[in-house]
Chains A and B, each alone.
Chain A
Amino acid sequence: MSAVPAWLRSVRVLTGLAIVLTVALLALLAPLIAPHDPNEQNLLTTFLPPAWAQGGDIAYPLGTDSLGRCTLSRLIYGARIAMTVAIVASFGAMIIGAVLAHVAGYFGGAADWLIGRMVDVWMSFPPVILSLILMVGLGTGLRNVILAIVLVDWTRFCRVLRSEVLVVTRRDYVPAARLLGFSHWRTITREILPATLPLLITLISLEMGIAVIVEAILSFVGMSVGATTPAWGQMIADARQYIYDSPWNLLFPILMIFVTVLGFNVLGDGLRLTLDVRLTETQRA
C-alpha cells in the first residue's frame, strides 16, 4: 500500500504535468518573467536573430520580429491566451457534452435520439470550418474564441461519454439505487458520474491540447483575439510573411505550440493508462 495514488506514479502523467505546469507558470508570471513589454516596438532592431546566433543581442534572447518586438516576451505572453482558452474552453465543452451524454445515455428514448441527431449534424462539419463560421457570426475576441470552441467541441465529449453512460446504466447498482428511492438526479450524480469520471478526466486533458491548436489556427487567420494581444498563431502568421528575413520567428511559436500540445497529450495518455479508461482509438479521433 502506498499513499501516492497510481496516477501520480506514472512517468507519463508526471512528464505531461511538468510540461503543462511550466507553460501555465509562464502564463501566470508573464509580467515578471518576460524581459520586455510584448508590444514594445523598436524599429531600429528588427529581425534580430536569437542571442546565440551571429548578430544576436543578449537583451533579446530569442531575437525580435518584423516590428522589433521581443520574440521571447511575445511567446511568454502568448501562453496566457493559449492556457486561458485551453482551460476555459475545455471545461465549457466538457460541461455541455457531459450533461447531454448523461441525459442521452441514462434516459434513452426520445432524448437520446434527439441528442444523437444533433451530434450527427455537428459531425457533418469539419471542426475548423465550423469554428471559423462561428467566429464570423460572433466576432473576434477572447470570449468568442472560447465560445466557438465550446460550441464545436462538445460533441467530442458527448459521443464518447454517451456509450460509457449506457454501459454503466445497465449495471445492477443503478436500478438498485432507483429502487431505494434515489431521484434521477441523485442516481446520475452519485452512482453514474463516479464511474464515468476517469474517462471524463482523460478526455478533458486531450481536449485542452485540441483547444490550443484551434486557438492557434483561428489567430493565424486573424479571427481570434485582437492584434494588440500576443498569440502564438498570430506570431506564426506574421513570421510567415517574412520567412526569408527571419526563419527563427516562425520556428519558435511552432515549437511552443508543439510542446504545449505534447504536454496535454502525454498527460492524457498517462491518465488513460493509469485510470484504466477504455478509450478506443476510433473514439479518440
Chain B
Amino acid sequence: MVKLMTSILPLITRRILVSVVILFIVSALLFCILRLLPVDSAAMSMPPNATLAEIEAKRREMGLDQPLFRQYLIWLSQVLHGDFGASIHFRRGVAGLVAATLPATIELALLAMLIAGALGIAGGLWMFHVRGTRREPLADMASIVLLSLPEFLWGLFFILLFGVALELLPFTGRLSSGFERPVITGFLLIDTLLAGRPDMFVNALKHMILPSLALGIAFSPTIMRVLRSSLLDVYQEEYIHQARLRGLSERRILIHHALKNALLPTLSLMGVQFGFLFGGTLLIEVIYSYPGLGNLMVDAVRNADLPIIQAVGLTYCVVVLFINTVVDAAYVILNPKLRVA
C-alpha cells in the first residue's frame, strides 16, 4: 500500500500541476474568444431606461474601459476569489447557477458511462467471440452502424419510440409534476433517498433512463472495438498458449487471463471517452429538457450571457481534466508494470 502510494503520488501531483497550467491557458483563451463578440455587457446589465452616462459608469465599474489584458487579470482575480460574476440574463450569481446544475449533469454522465461500459464490454466480448466465423462481418458492420449514430440522434429516436409511440417512459425534465424536490446534496437521486422518498427516487430514475441510455449507447461502440482489438492482441501472448497447455477451459482463459489484461487499454480509452461523453450531455440535456449544465450553457449562448458561458466552459474543462487525472491514477494502480519500484 505504501509502495503504491509512493508510485502514484508523484504522478498525481504532476497531473494536477499540468492541469492547473492548462486551466490558466484555457481561461485566457476563453476570455479572448468571448471578447470577439460585439456585445456591450454593461448596457445589457442595465435597465432599458438607463442614460448613456450611467452605462458609461457601469462600464468603468465592470472594468470594460481597460485594455484586454487588464480585463483578463481583473476577471481572473475575481474567479480565484470564487466570484464568477453575475448572470446578465438571470440576474443571479453565476457560481450559484453552476452549482445548482452541475450535480444533475454529473448524475447523467455517470449513469451513461456505466451503461456505455456495460454495453461496450458485453459487445466487445461478443465481437471477439464471433471472430473468424461467418458472423464476424455482421458484427463489424453492426459496430460501424453504431458508430454512425451520435448521441443526439439516439436521444430523438428514443423519444419517438419509447416516449411518443409506446408511451413507456417520460422524456422531459427530471421529475413528474406534483413532486417537490428535496435539496440536500444537490444530487437528486441521492436526495430523494435521503429524504426517504423511494417513490420519488423511482420517478427520477425513470426520467433518466432515456437520456442516459441514448448517451451510453452512442459511446459504447468505440469501447467494444477497443476491447475486441486488445483481446486479439492479448491472445497473441505466450501466457494464453501456456494456459491452454495447462488444460484450462476457454471460458476461464478469457475471463481470468485475457480479459484482465485487455481491459487496461479499454480503461484508458474510457477516460478519453468520458470527456467526449461529458460534452455529449449538452445536446441530450437540451433534447430532454433536463435541467443541467448543458441547458444552462445553451440558454446562455442564446442570450449572449458571457459570465455564464465563461464559467460553464471552465467547469466542463475542470471536469475533463479531473477525469483524466483519475483515469491515469487508476491505470497505474491496475497496471503493475507502470509502478515505480
Contacts and interface: CB of A to CB of B under 8 A. Distances in A.
Interface of A: 120-121, 123-129, 132-139, 209, 213, 216-217, 220-223, 236, 240, 243-244, 247, 250-251, 254, 257-258, 261-262, 265-266, 269, 280-282, 284-285
A137 B33 contact: yes
B156 interface: yes
B226 A223 contact: no
B152 interface: yes
B150 A124 contact: no
Nearest to B316: A129
B145 interface: yes
B172 to A, nearest CB: 10
A282 B265 contact: yes
B272 interface: yes
A240 B156 contact: yes
22 contacts: A121-B26, A121-B29, A123-B275, A125-B316, A125-B320, A126-B275, A126-B278, A126-B320, A128-B283, A129-B316, A132-B297, A136-B301, A137-B34, A137-B37, A138-B36, A240-B156, A247-B164, A250-B160, A254-B153, A262-B148, A281-B229, A282-B272
Contacts of A257: 153
Chain B facing A: main interface SS: helix
B152 to A, nearest CB: 6
Given A125-B279, A137-B35, A265-B144, 12 more contacts: A124-B26, A127-B276, A129-B279, A132-B298, A132-B301, A136-B34, A136-B304, A137-B34, A220-B286, A221-B302, A254-B153, A280-B229
Contacts of B297: 129, 132
Given A125-B26, A236-B156, A282-B226, A220 B273 contact: no
Interface of B: 18-19, 22-23, 25-26, 29-30, 33-37, 144-145, 147-150, 152-153, 156-157, 159-160, 164-165, 222, 225-226, 229, 265, 268-269, 272-273, 275-276, 278-280, 282-283, 286-287, 297-298, 301-302, 304, 309, 313, 316-317, 320-321, 324
B148 A281 contact: no
B225 A133 contact: no
Contacts of A261: 148-150
A243 B276 contact: no
A254 B283 CA distance: 14
Contacts of A221: 283, 286, 298, 301-302
A10 to B, nearest CB: 13
A126 B279 contact: yes
A127 B280 CA distance: 9
B92 to A, nearest CB: 20
Nearest to B280: A128
A262 B276 CA distance: 20
Query: What 4 A-B pairs have minimum CB-CB distances, sorted nearest first?
Result: A126-B279, A262-B148, A137-B33, A137-B36
A125 B320 CA distance: 7
A132 to B, nearest CB: 6
A217 B272 contact: no
Given A124-B317, A236-B156, A244-B164, A132 B282 contact: yes
A243 B19 CA distance: 43
Nearest to A255: B153
Residue from B144, B157, B164 whose CB has the most chain A CB atoms within 10 Å: B144
A216 B25 CA distance: 29
A124 B36 contact: no
Nearest to B269: A282
B26 A133 contact: no
Contacts of B164: 243-244, 247
A251 B302 CA distance: 26
Given A120-B22, A121-B25, A126-B279, A282 B33 contact: no
A281 B222 contact: yes
B225 A281 contact: yes
Contacts of A121: 22, 25-26, 29
B321 A124 contact: yes
A103 B121 CA distance: 38
A243 B153 contact: no
Given A125-B26, A129-B279, A285 B309 contact: no
A127 B269 CA distance: 16
A133 B152 CA distance: 19
B287 A240 contact: yes
A137 B37 CA distance: 5
Contacts of A244: 164
A266 B276 CA distance: 22
A216 B152 CA distance: 10
Contacts of B35: 137
A155 to B, nearest CB: 12
Nearest to B153: A254
A222 B273 CA distance: 26
B278 A284 contact: no
